[in-house]
Amino acid sequence: MPGKLYGVGVGPGDPELLTLRALRVLEEVDTLIAPDSGRHGIALEIVRKATRREHRVLRLSFPMTKKREVLEEAWRHATERVYRALSRGDAAFITLGDPMFYSTFSYVLEGIRERYPEVEVEVVPGVSSLSACAASLGMPLVSGGESLAVVPAAYGVEELESLARSFDTVVLMKVSKRFDEIAEKIAKAGLEDKATVAVRCGSRGFTSGSLREVGEVEYLSMIILRGLRK
Amino acid sequence: MPGKLYGVGVGPGDPELLTLRALRVLEEVDTLIAPDSGRHGIALEIVRKATRREHRVLRLSFPMTKKREVLEEAWRHATERVYRALSRGDAAFITLGDPMFYSTFSYVLEGIRERYPEVEVEVVPGVSSLSACAASLGMPLVSGGESLAVVPAAYGVEELESLARSFDTVVLMKVSKRFDEIAEKIAKAGLEDKATVAVRCGSRGFTSGSLREVGEVEYLSMIILRGLRK
């Protein structure tokens, strides 16, 4: 019988934002599984600060590409390695934020479900980057009858204008790589005064500001457009 | 000097889904502030299970109405009571899930900011009902380049069809009151096979199923429409 696979959200950065259940699971399992990218290096750091338990660590590589075949091959390979790790006992796949919200865990979960349906899986939800940003900014995301759209930042100007007409709050994810281009689109859509950039939410080094104020924009940054239909 | 006001997310229901920081704050403050409705009765229950600290409890009433003037009067009154409570020291306004995601805390936060800007406020993010439902279902909300819309359930058939064309995942919140009507709209929009109903996510008594399968639908239920653009 293979061990149990946990998908554990370790929160946005500050080890105090781990849940009690995440901490318990991390103290129980022998093996941690962490994707081998900058972002998940942070997840491993959080775990190391939160518990003294020594873990075996399985690091998974995922190529930085959009080619579907290359990605699918990488996910298949990762699934096999995770399954082999489970032969030694329970393991926790750790993800920054929440495991069900833009995380690599979803691909491994799908692979395990398809090919090894006998594996027991438990997902431990975490504080998402979205909740962390709203808290750090002291800015409610939605209340009452309001609506929220969360979209990758690659949207065009017209689409942004249309989103701003239909939703009270729009969150642009993954903005670091093309920040200047995105800032320009927001300005063209006439939404600059509604935009707040949040960098490193829920961890030390948090900063925020308007599109013009914010300097360096890192991996975990997002832009929140708020008060759109007022 | 008034005490510090914390907005503390206590997670979706299971006391183990509290964060370490939420627990620390709840053990430090003398006063808890909790809206006097069924939902926040649950928040208080979670706190009582998680800590043995005896708290003074301030219960706030909010009328169940959509009349703007009545609501604004209630929020003003609540803000005054919260401010008075802070004269005795630090206090934590507890909310189920996350304080920045459909929570009454946002109104009190706004009131305090406007009228008592000298009050220090800290928001402690929590595991949202959204993350909890995705985890309980083992269903990723979004991954890769996908997009997410979160809307109150009062949307019409045409709007649902349009959302389903533009987003990969659509979450309908607050579905309990008019569940049959909403289920019919989803069926009319041809989206029945994409819909999963999740009830009491992240707490004991969690159930889920298709629109036809699910029986009783409670306050904290949501409907997730997934795989819309595949």
Tens digits of residue pLDDT in A92-103 = 999 999 999 999
Q: Which residues in chain B are contacts of A7 at CB distance < 8 A?
A: 135
Q: Which residue has the tokens 């599984």?
A: A33
**Are A144 and B102 an interchain contact pair (Cβ–Cβ within 8 Å)?**
yes
**Candidate from A101, A135, A147 with C-beta closest to B100:** A135
Inter-chain touch A143–B103, beta carbons under 8 Å: yes
- Range in A84-88, A167-171, B104-108, B150-154 with the lowest mean pLDDT: B150-154
B21 CB-contact burial (10 Å; exposed 0-12 / middle 13-18 / buried 19+): buried
Give A-chain residues touching B105 at CB under 8 angstroms: 140
Confidence category of residue B67, pLDDT binned at 50, 70, 90: confident
If you average pLDDT over residues B183-191, what whole number do you get?
A: 93
- Do the beta carbons of residue A25 and residue A33 sit within 8 Å? no
Residue A228: name the closest of A157, A154, A141, A133 by CA. A141
What ipTM was reported for this prediction?
A: 0.95
**Interchain contact, B11 vs A24, CB within 8 Å:** no
pTM of the entire predicted model: 0.95
- For residue B167, the chain A residues in CB contact (below 8 A) are 149
In the sheet that holds B207-209, the strands lie side by side as: A207-209, A195-199, A222-226, A169-173, A148-152, B148-152, B169-173, B222-226, B195-199, B207-209
Answer yes or no: is pLDDT of A155 > 80. no
AA identity, residue A6: Y
Written as six digits, the tokens of A183 are 């800032």
Token readout for A81 is: 């390695």
Contact yes or no for B103/B124 (Cβ under 8 A): no
Query: Which of A114, A131, A133, A206 should one mutate to test binding to chain B, selecting the residue with the greatest count of B CBs within 10 A?
Result: A131
Record the tokens describing residue A140, joined without a space: 């409610």
What is the predicted pLDDT for the residue at A94? 97
Nearest Cα to Cα of residue B19 among A172, A98, A112: A98
- Residue A94 and residue A10 in contact, taking contact as beta carbons nearer than 8 Å: yes
pLDDT in tens, B52-64: 999 999 999 888 7
The stretch A146-166 carries a mean pLDDT of 90
- pLDDT at residue A40 is higher than 60: no
For residue B132, give the chain A residue with the closest CA. A125
> Which token pair is A4?
């149990």
Structure tokens at B134: 């995705």
Nearest Cβ partner for A126 among B102, B131, B167? B131
Q: Whose CA is closest to A115, among A87, A77, A88, A68? A: A77
Nearest CA in chain B to A135: B123
According to the model, what pLDDT value does residue B39 have?
59
Which residue in the set A16, A125, A134 is minimally distant from B100, CB to CB? Answer: A134
Q: Using an 8 Å Cβ cutoff, are B15 and B50 in contact?
A: yes
pLDDT at B215 over 90: no
pLDDT at residue A168, as a whole number: 96
Which residues in chain B have their CB less than 8 angstroms from residue A109's CB? 138, 140
Give the per-residue pLDDT at B40.
57
User: What pLDDT is recorded for position A38?
Assistant: 59
pLDDT over 90 (residue B25): yes
- Determine contact, residues B175/B157, Cβ cutoff 8 Å: no
The pLDDT value given to residue A20: 98
Measured distance CA(B95)–CA(B105) in Å, rounded:
7
Taking 80 as the threshold, does the pLDDT of residue A113 lie above it?
Answer: yes
- Cβ-proximal residues to B80 (8 Å cutoff; 6+ apart), any chain: none
Kindly list the residues from chain B whose CB atom is less than 8 angstroms away from the CB atom of residue A27: none
Quick one: tokens of A184? 């320009």
CB A126 within 8 A of CB A25: no
Question: What are the structure tokens assigned to A204, written together?
Answer: 């030390």
Mean pLDDT of A181-206: 91
DSSP H or E run through B110: helix B105-115
pLDDT of residue B167: 96
Give the pLDDT band (50/70/90) at residue B38. Answer: low
Alpha carbon of A112: minimum distance to chain B alpha carbons (Å): 12
Contacting residues of A for B121, CB less than 8 Å apart: 138
The token duo for A55 is 């873990």
Residue B93: the pLDDT is 97
Determine the residue among A4, A26, A150, A224 to mutate to test chain B binding: the one whose Cβ has the most chain B Cβ atoms within 10 Å. Answer: A150
Instruction: State the pLDDT at residue A39.
Output: 59
Length of chain A: 230
Please tell me the distance in Å from B57's CA to the nearest CA on chain A. 23
Q: What is the DSSP letter of A176?
A: S
pLDDT at B22: 98
Q: What ranges make up the beta strands (E) of B185-230?
A: 195-199, 207-209, 222-226
